Structures are given as C-alpha cells and as structure tokens.
Structure 1
Amino acid sequence: MSEYTTISLRKEFVADVEEYIEEEPFGSVKEFVKHVVVREMESDDEIGEAEAKQIARKLRELGYME
C-alpha cells in the first residue's frame, strides 16, 4: 500500500495553475505538478546553485514561497 503526504500551495498559485491547464490534458493541479516534477527529475539539464537561488528568489517575490 502506498503512503502519501500533503504539500501545501498558496490558493492563488493553485488558481493560476488551474487557469494555465484549462486547455491541457491534465485532470487536476496534482496531475500537472506530478508531471512537471517527474519531467524535471528525468531531465539531463541541471541548474546551478546560482540559478536555483534566482528561481527561489523570484518565487518568494511572487508570494509562492516563504
């Protein structure tokens, strides 16, 4: 039996994702997020520490991270 955990996302972010995937073949935000995470994990492209920090800073500025 699989075990699950919960990830909290800001409601505004979820609303943005729902709008974004409206015309896409994803049945839910959960399916879309899983797809993106798996795709990134399988990607050969690696980001450096500086790029990761820049992405985190932008997400914080947008209110998606604390």
Structure 2
Amino acid sequence: MALCRGSDSGRLASRAGIVAGGSRGVRAAIARCFVGRVLIPGILDEEGAALAAKLGDAVGYAHLDVGRRA
C-alpha cells in the first residue's frame, strides 16, 4: 500500500492509535498502516466491525458519533 511506504513507514510500527472515521476510504488505509493497537470509532458499524475483524486482534471498532452531543 503506497500510503504506508516511504521514509516514514516505520513511524507507526508498534504504536497505538485512534483513527476516527476509519471504517472506509483514506482513514481505513491509515488504520491498516498501524502495526500496534488501533481503535476505529465511527458510525458505520458493519463496515467498521468488518475492517477491525479483518485487521486482527489488536484492532477494535466502537460506535461513536462525534456529530452528536452526549
């Protein structure tokens, strides 16, 4: 994946991160670059959960709508 290549490709290795809106598109590609633990919060539950399951045990999905106030 081109996004994960280059001189900075090791910067995400063994890191933990939160990729808001990471269920699809560019943010999903960013979530795939993480080698450590990743949380993908978003409102696309089926897509987010499927991506998290595909990426492995170190990745989780949580429903989170940042457009609504609690």
Normalised by the length of structure 2, the TM-score is 0.27
Write 1 or 2 for the structure with the bigger share of strand: 2
Greater RCO (Cα-Cα under 8 Å, separation 6 or more): 1
